[in-house]
Each structure stands twice: as C-alpha cells, then as structure tokens.
Structure 1
Amino acid sequence: MKTKKKIIVVLVLFVGFVNAKAQSTWVAPKNADVISNPLKNDQTAIKKGKTLYMQLCAVCHGDKGKGDGVASVALNPKPANFMIDKFHKQTDGAVFWKLTEGKPPMASYKESLTETQRWQLVIYLKSLKK
C-alpha cells in the first residue's frame, strides 16, 4: 500500500509541475448551481464520503481538508481549503460539477467514481466545517 501511495504522490507532483501556470480561480458554470444533492443530510453518505476522501483526496487536500496534503507543496494552483467560507458558499451542485469535470491538477472523477460516490464526497466536504 505504501508503494501505491508513493506512486500517487509522484503522479500528482508531476501533474502539478506540468500545470504550474494553471489559474487559481475556478468557478463552476451557473447551471451547476441548480443541481440538487440527492443525499443531503444522509449520515451514512457522509461516512462513505469520508472513506473516499481519505483514499483519494487527502494526499492533496490534507486529512482535515485544509489544502495541506503531502502532495500540495508541488501543486499550482494549490488544492482547495475546504474549511474556508469561500468553499462553503458554493452550492452542492457546483462542488459536484468540479469533482465530475476536474481541472488540472485536480482530477476528473467522472469515469472513476459513480454519481453516488461523487455526491458522498460533496456531502462529506460540506460537513467538514461544522
């Protein structure tokens, strides 16, 4: 498992260097704001989202979601901090859209995660500040 994590970190670092000139502002299209979360207030979904987060996201965004994961040092733009108001002011639909589409160095999860799994991540991320 440690080898797999090292490979992931190396890949993330490589993507970060390749995309060093990426923009730091990322706004979902307005039509994403009307997408509603079918798992809103589902405690089981939050737990499943946390598991997914720790497997896929923590390496860049950190265990607590502050954007300070081990791979974050080499990424530009830096990973989002899920603890700040700017993140929480986004609609669930906007966050879901970003997880689905991705924008380097952020991966797209359209093909690798089911729609339900992406919503589980959204509901977990939105629970972090509470």
Structure 2
Amino acid sequence: MKQVTKKRIEQTSLLAGFLFLALITFPALLQAQTNNWNAPASANQLKNPLAGNTTVLKEAKKLYTTNCGPCHGNNGKGDGIAAAALNPKPADHTSAAVQKESDGALYWKMTEGHTPMPSYKQALTDTQRWMLVNYIRSLAKRK
C-alpha cells in the first residue's frame, strides 16, 4: 500500500510541475507567436537616399552576411544557424510580407531592433543600414 501511495504522489507531483511550467510559459509563447512587429507610421515617411542604387549591393552583401546572416540566413530565408534557438523566428526577407514594407520601415526596424534582434543604431552607420535595405530588396529578385 505504501508503494502505491508513494508512486501516486510522485506522479501527481510530476503532473503538477508540468502544469505549472505550462501555465507560466504558455502566455509568453502565445505572445511571441502572435506578436507582429510593426514600424510606426512615421517610419514610412523616411526616404531611402540610396533607393535604386545597385552599386552598393556588393558591400551590402558583406554587411548582410556578417550582421544578418547568422539569424536570417545568407539568402534571407530566416534560416540562419542561430534561427532555431530564437523566438520569435527571424523574418524571411524574401517573403511578400517583408518586401511590401516600406524602405523606411525596414530601416527603422534595423535601427531600433526588437528582441531577439539587436538594434544596429550604434553598430552600423545610417548609410550602411540603407545599403542593407537595398540588399533586402535584391533578395526577393533571387527567389
């Protein structure tokens, strides 16, 4: 009888532990999966001083590979080597959703960051961030 009671207590404790863990992590997981990252409307007014400039793409590719590739992947699909450990998952820069964003919104997101993506305000110059916007635009054309 003691053996059955002890086992039942262990099972109940284990179940309670799993339920507790689920209750504290579920809201965070739900928020991460439904949390859309939208730039403010004012970001759409930012004008890309390098719009249409393809001469910057070679240097922009190097910047992208170094700064964006680990998470977004070198082809921008959101499948970099660090992507599996991230929540929310990195955006697919070739997707219609990303490509329909304004240049200003993409620039703003790089500038400000949003966990787990860092801010690049200090790490990259304004020009480098605009170069990356142009590079992200070029990724959709390679699809």
Gaps of 5+ in 1: 1-19
Alignment-derived partner of residue 15 in structure 1: none
When structure 1 is superposed on structure 2, of 43-52 and 81-90 the one drifting more is 43-52
Which of 51, 57, 65 does residue 46 from structure 1 map onto? 57
SS at match of 1:43: coil
Shift of 1:44: 1.8
Q: Which runs of 4+ in 1 moved over 2 A?
A: 20-24
Offset from partner CA, 1:25-78 (integer Å, 9 cap, x none):
100000000101000111122222111001111110011100000100000000
Alignment-derived partner of residue 94 in structure 2: 83
Matched, 1:101 2:108: no
Which of 52, 55, 68 does residue 79 from structure 2 map onto? 68
What is the alpha-carbon distance in structure 2 between the residues aligned to residue 79 and residue 66 of structure 1?
Answer: 8
Matched, 1:111 2:122: yes
SS at match of 1:86: helix
Structure 2 letter corresponding to 1:29: P
Percentage of matched positions with identical amino acids: 50
Structure 2 letter corresponding to 1:61: H
What is the alpha-carbon distance in structure 1 between the residues aligned to residue 104 and residue 96 of structure 2?
Answer: 16
Shift of 1:105: 0.3
Alignment-derived partner of residue 38 in structure 2: 27
Structure 2 letter corresponding to 1:121: L
